[in-house]
Chains A and B, each alone.
Chain A
């Protein structure tokens, strides 16, 4: 009658998720504010760094990557690595044309 290995229990409470949501909203406000300023070529970099951090929060907290086994994390890193390789190869090809 015993149920083994129940779906993994996340230790997060409602409050923790709401905090992360507030952080995501704040980051959105910051990225809009920064885009309004004139910081030249750093504009794109700043926007992408903020977006990456937001994506990191969604991946680790909302998508529970933090509480999954290591193999999940390795999978995600490999997938992102291949996307990264595509970008590097594309731009190295593009810049030599």
Chain B
């Protein structure tokens, strides 16, 4: 499984499969992190079904669907960036990575407007208006802010990660023959996408 390169007398050890396996193991810890929250969500949703439906009416479905499309597209550009580098199309790969970063930023900007709109309506953790609602609605918004917030942090981390990859591609550290770093950044990015794939229907589509 491990790969060894002999280039002009130098001896480089590399294990791309092991590297990706390590990334997957990390992704499993992420799965458990978010999985715990989905557990919490499912029990409270079961317990306060009507309140959850009522509270979800406050969320903007179109905005949520739009953001889903943005993230899915960013996943596409990320995977195409890997194909591009495999085909030795460095400039195209860099362009696709930069587009991915901008789509991530776009997602966050939408999220920002969404959250500030909620804040203006007086719905934020600990606000008087929120505390005057039923406990099921308070729980819904608590979970909404924690889960989309934690997801948002992952989007920010992913942006920085991809930015580092772009720099490495520019400096020829990531090349046609050595691109496992880019693949691992991609794996992380797709996980962030998968989490949103579940967050979207559970928060935006239950009205």
A35 and chain B: residue at smallest CB distance: B205
Given contacts A21-B72, A76-B24, contact A3 B201 (CB under 8 A): no
* CB 8 Å contact bits of B21-32 with A (1 = contact, 0 = none): 100110010011
Chain A interface bracket (under 10, 10 to 19, 20 to 34, 35 or more): 35 or more
Number of chain B residues close to chain A: CB under 8 A:
55
A residues apposed to B, CB below 8 Å: 1-10, 12-14, 17-18, 21, 24-25, 28-29, 31-32, 35, 43-44, 47-48, 50-51, 54-55, 58-59, 61-64, 68-69, 71-72, 75-76, 79-80, 82-83, 86-87, 90-91, 94
Cα distance A40–B21 in the bound complex, in angstroms: 42
B residues apposed to A, CB below 8 Å: 1-8, 16-17, 20-21, 24-25, 28, 31-32, 35-36, 39, 42-43, 46, 61, 65, 68-69, 72-73, 75-76, 78-80, 83, 86, 177-180, 183, 186-187, 190-191, 193-194, 197-198, 200-202, 205-207
Which residues of A are found within 8 Å of B24, using beta-carbon distances? 72, 75-76
